[in-house]
């Protein structure tokens, strides 16, 4: 007789609000493709006041891990036993791995971005990097770029957000010995001639604001510049269209999204998912 096993292996995401998070679609498509019939990805709305209880629940249910999205990425750290090096520098966690009750925090946003960069054949070592924005994505990407040996990182950031930007610069300089520059984004930004890689790490272009683009002088984009966006939906943003028109090599935020999700699956299951299956699932979910 065939062995009967109905015990689910649980992972998921904690967020608030979280109903529109497409993680479940991407992850469950990969589980199915890998033949992981008993793996389930749960989308769980956790209010900030309940985060501690939710972590206890995660342990009680022996969940294999969890993604954390807004507003829990920083607050969750106090419940963890250990953190990966880049997550420590970034000071935010989006993925937790549960090994027999020991919780380790990772930040796969920046790592996903870096794998996408590598897949495009671009090595940030010794390069001049320009990052638009100074929020969570910019922080994760600039820490990973520093760890990968970038030559200089320039943060271009709105003045209203100056403290955020300056704390990122301090982190890069003090903890990672990075050469940095900071640009107050008060007027149209000219991409410096020595720039090798330009990253949009702002939400400009994200659905439903699909016609928005960063305030930069697009004629300063040389064709040698490599351009990467964080926006996965829609994948082809007006920012990327400008880069495309000027002959630059470019990549959408889909690469970052799918690679961070693939990393989560690898950390939780030990198996490498088919990224094509995950992209297809995401595309059909967003329509
Ligand atoms: P944050 O809110 O933490 O940071 C956004 C940054 O962009 C801030 O510095 C913000 O400045 C700046 N910004 C916002 N609007 C403008 C504007 N009009 N002009 C100039 N700067 C602006 O968000 P995250 O860093 O967490 O996320 C940024 C984007 O990255 C989101 O759209 C998200 O969808 C995407 N993302 C994609 C991932 C992927 O896998 N592809 C993973 C993670 C994020 P201020 O603080 O002043 O508003």
CB 229 less than 6 A from any atom of ligand 1: no
Q: Please tell me the residue having the least CA distance from ligand 1 atom 16.
A: 202
Q: With bands split at pLDDT 50, 70 and 90, how would you rate the model's confidence at 3?
A: confident
In this prediction, residue 286 carries a pLDDT of 83
Task: Give the pair of three-digit tokens for residue 158.
Answer: 């709105």
Beta partners for 131? Answer: 155, 199
Q: Is 73 known to be catalytic?
A: yes
Is residue 92 pLDDT above 70, yes or no?
yes
Q: How far apart are CA 178 and CA 176, in angstroms?
A: 5
Q: Please tell me the residue having the least CA distance from ligand 1 atom 2.
A: 135
Angle between helix 23-34 and 254-269 (nearest 10): 50
Q: Please tell me the residue having the least CA distance from ligand 1 atom 42.
A: 109
Q: How far apart are CA 188 and CA 252, in angstroms?
A: 22
Q: How far apart are CA 217 and CA 272, in angstroms?
A: 41
Q: With bands split at pLDDT 50, 70 and 90, how would you rate the model's confidence at 285?
A: confident
Q: With bands split at pLDDT 50, 70 and 90, how would you rate the model's confidence at 262?
A: very high
In angstroms, how far is CA 228 from the centroid of its own chain? 13
Mean pLDDT, residues 37-65: 98
Q: How far apart are CA 270 and CA 134, in angstroms?
A: 33
Distance from residue 134's CA to the centre of ligand 1 (Å): 8
Q: Is 103 exposed, middle or buried (0-12, 13-18, 19+ CB in 10 A)?
A: buried
Distance from residue 235's CA to the centre of ligand 1 (Å): 15
Q: Please tell me the residue having the least CA distance from ligand 1 atom 39.
A: 257
CB 134 less than 6 A from any atom of ligand 1: yes
In this prediction, residue 75 carries a pLDDT of 96
| Residue among 64, 73, 127, 152 flagged as catalytic | 73
Is residue 48 pLDDT above 90, yes or no?
yes
Q: In percent, how much of the chain has pLDDT > 70?
A: 99
Q: How far apart are CA 174 and CA 180, in angstroms?
A: 11
Distance from residue 138's CA to the centre of ligand 1 (Å): 8
Mean pLDDT, residues 247-255: 96
Distance from residue 278's CA to the centre of ligand 1 (Å): 23
Ligand 1 pocket: which of 20, 110, 132, 135 to mutate (most atoms within 8 A of CB): 135
In this prediction, residue 2 carries a pLDDT of 75
Is residue 142 pLDDT above 90, yes or no?
yes
Q: Which atom of ligand 1 is nearest to the CA of 233?
A: 34
In this prediction, residue 161 carries a pLDDT of 66
Mean pLDDT, residues 56-62: 98
Ligand 1 pocket: which of 13, 137, 255, 258 to mutate (most atoms within 8 A of CB): 137
Q: How far apart are CA 28 and CA 39, in angstroms?
A: 8
Distance from residue 3's CA to the centre of ligand 1 (Å): 49
CB 206 less than 6 A from any atom of ligand 1: yes
Kindly tell me the sign of the dihedral angle through the C-alpha atoms of 269, 273, 279, 280. Answer: negative
Q: Please tell me the residue having the least CA distance from ligand 1 atom 27.
A: 137
**pTM surpassing 0.85?**
yes
User: Tens digits of per-residue pLDDT, 176-195?
Assistant: 999 999 999 999 999 999 99
Q: With bands split at pLDDT 50, 70 and 90, how would you rate the model's confidence at 163?
A: confident
CB 256 less than 6 A from any atom of ligand 1: yes
């Amino acid at each position: 007789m065939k062995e009967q096993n109905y015990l689910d292996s649980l992972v998921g995401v904690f967020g608030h609000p979280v109903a529109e998070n497409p993680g479940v679609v991407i992850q469950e498509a990969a589980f199915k493709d890998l033949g992981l019939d008993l793996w389930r990805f749960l989308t769980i709305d956790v209010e900030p006041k309940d985060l501690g209880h939710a972590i206890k629940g995660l342990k009680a249910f022996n969940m294999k891990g969890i993604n954390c999205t807004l507003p829990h990425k920083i607050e969750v750290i106090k419940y963890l036993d250990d953190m990966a090096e880049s997550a420590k520098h970034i000071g935010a966690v989006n993925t937790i791995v549960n090994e027999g009750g020991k919780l380790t925090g990772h930040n796969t946003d920046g790592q996903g971005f870096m794998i996408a960069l590598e897949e495009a054949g671009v090595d940030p070592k010794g390069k001049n990097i320009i990052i638009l924005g100074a929020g969570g994505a910019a922080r994760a990407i600039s820490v990973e770029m520093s760890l990968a040996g970038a030559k200089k990182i320039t943060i271009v950031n709105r003045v209203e957000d100056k403290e955020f930007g300056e704390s990122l610069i301090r982190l890069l300089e003090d903890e990672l010995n990075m050469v940095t520059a900071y640009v107050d984004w008060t007027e149209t930004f000219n991409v410096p001639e020595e720039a090798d890689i330009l990253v949009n790490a702002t939400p400009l272009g994200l659905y439903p604001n699909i016609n928005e683009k960063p305030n930069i002088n697009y004629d300063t984009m040389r064709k040698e510049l490599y351009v990467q966006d964080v926006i996965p939906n829609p994948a082809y943003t007006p920012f990327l269209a400008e880069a495309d028109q000027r002959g630059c090599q470019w990549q959408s935020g889909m690469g970052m999204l799918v690679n961070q999700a693939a990393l989560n699956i690898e950390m939780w299951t030990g198996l490498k998912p088919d990224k094509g299956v995950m992209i297809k699932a995401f595309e059909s979910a967003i329509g």
